[in-house]
A = this chain, B = another copy of it.
Amino acid sequence: MSIRIGILGYGNLGRGVECAIRQNPDMELAAVFTRRDPATVQILTEGASVVSVDDAPSWQDKIDVMILCGGSATDLPEQTPAFAKMFNVIDSFDTHARIPEHFANVDAAANQSGHVGIISVGWDPGMFSLNRMYANAILPDGSDYTFWGKGVSQGHSDAIRRIPGVKDARQYTIPVDAALDAVRSGSNPILTTREKHTRECFVVLEEGADAAKIEETIKTMPNYFADYDTTVHFISEEELKANHSGIPHGGFVIRTGRTGWEGENQHLIEYRLKLDSNPEFTSSVIVAYARAAYRLAKEGQTGCKTVFDIAPAYLSVKSNEELRKTML
């Protein structure tokens, strides 16, 4: 029997989950749950239902894992504990500072109801966290570096869009090659914010807006741009649509460290992601962990878990025997 998945929230992430389910033969999309009028939500999967979120409680025996595709600011802090009372759940909660609190809330709800909840799944937090953790365990004497990009930062794009006179904008975060090379050399560089990343902005102006003034406003914006070397390009709306409508992202998690009785040997562990679609890759990670949630729940486990708590084999469609034979 297939693992029956529910999706709560049908934005970029929810659509990504829908696509990822199709690539996994042991899973099926049972229903998409929405806060909108279900009649207005068109999904891709034949045979799957679109249901009002208010009807979710009646789906408890028809869904094995509910994937929560809302935002971390306001949706998930409420939704994940609430749905963990009814379902095995997974989310991609990414407000790093609030993870301990979110974990505690989901853990209490999931333990009480006898479900499994896996939080903060994706690539950062998620695969980047895992790689940091493994690398730290292997090389206790070393240094960590994380670089993001090249990729679209929604937060920075939004910050530009809020400037009067800006019609639309897209911001790319770009890691500096020289900084990456310095890290890889093992020289343990101490890098400033400016040395690690540059920011490149593509801006569409409103009719009659003052380009020079807007460029100045962007480049001096505290927190977002002032600490970076920022480039601003003014382009037409058509150009933005044609060349900047994707949501690529990625980055590098690097640890360099020393071994040997006197630390005489140097090592580099580097994990890199280069993603055409940030939400679709995040969804793909989530769907692999949905398989884990299903299996853990079948074993009778309950409570909140993170990527650190889950043995890798739980993610794979292959049996442990097959994995040892083909992948070890």
Identify the closest chain B residue to A15 (Cβ).
B261
Q: Does A317 contact B (CB under 8 A)?
A: yes
Contacting residues of chain A (279-328) with chain B, CB-CB under 8 angstroms: 280-281, 283-285, 288, 291, 306-313, 315-317, 320-321, 323-325, 327-328
Q: Is A276 an interface residue (CB 8 A)?
A: yes
Contact A312 B307 (CB under 8 A): yes
The residue from B24, B137, B268 contacting A288, defined by CB atoms under 8 A apart: B137
Partner of A260, one of B138, B277, B285: B277
Are A328's CB and B270's CB within 8 A?
no
Q: Decide yes or no whether A171 CB sits under 8 A from chain B.
A: no
Specify which of A125, A269, A316, A327 lies most central, judged by the most chain B CB atoms within 10 Å of its CB: A327
Contact assessment for A328 and B129 in the assembled complex, using a CB-CB cutoff below 8 Å: yes
Would you mind naming 24 contact pairs between A and B with Cβ atoms under 8 Å apart? A16-B259, A19-B260, A99-B325, A99-B328, A100-B321, A131-B271, A132-B327, A133-B315, A133-B327, A134-B312, A134-B315, A138-B288, A139-B284, A259-B284, A265-B275, A265-B276, A267-B273, A267-B277, A271-B272, A308-B311, A308-B327, A309-B320, A310-B311, A310-B312
Residues of A at under 8 Å CB distance from B? 16, 18-20, 22-24, 44, 96, 99-100, 103, 120, 125, 127, 129-134, 136-141, 184, 250, 259-261, 265-277, 280-281, 283-285, 288, 291, 306-313, 315-317, 320-321, 323-325, 327-328
B273 touching A312, Cβ below 8 Å: no
- Nearest B-chain residue to A256, judged by Cβ: B274
- CB-nearest residue of chain B to A283: B259
Chain B residues near A283: list those with CB within 8 A.
259
Question: Which chain B positions have C-beta within 8 A of A327?
Answer: 129, 132-133, 136, 308
Report yes or no: B325 in contact with A100, Cβ–Cβ below 8 A. yes
Beyond A138-B288, A267-B274, list 13 extra A-B contacts (CB 8 Å). Answer: A19-B261, A96-B328, A137-B312, A138-B285, A259-B277, A259-B280, A260-B277, A267-B273, A267-B280, A269-B273, A307-B328, A308-B327, A309-B312
A285 — nearest CB in chain B belongs to which residue?
B138
| B residues in contact with A250, CB < 8 Å | 268
Identify the 9 closest CB pairs spanning chains A and B, nearest first: A265-B276, A137-B315, A268-B274, A308-B313, A265-B277, A259-B280, A137-B288, A270-B272, A23-B140
A139 proximity list for chain B (CB < 8 A): 284
Minimum Cβ distance to chain B for residue A26 (Å): 10
Determine whether the beta carbon of A270 is less than 8 Å from that of B267: no
Cβ distance A124 to chain B, nearest Cβ, rounded Å: 10
Nearest-Cβ distance from residue A134 to partner chain B, whole angstroms = 6
The answer on a CB contact under 8 Å between A141 and B312 is: no
Q: How far is the CA of A268 from the CA of B277 in the complex (A)?
A: 11
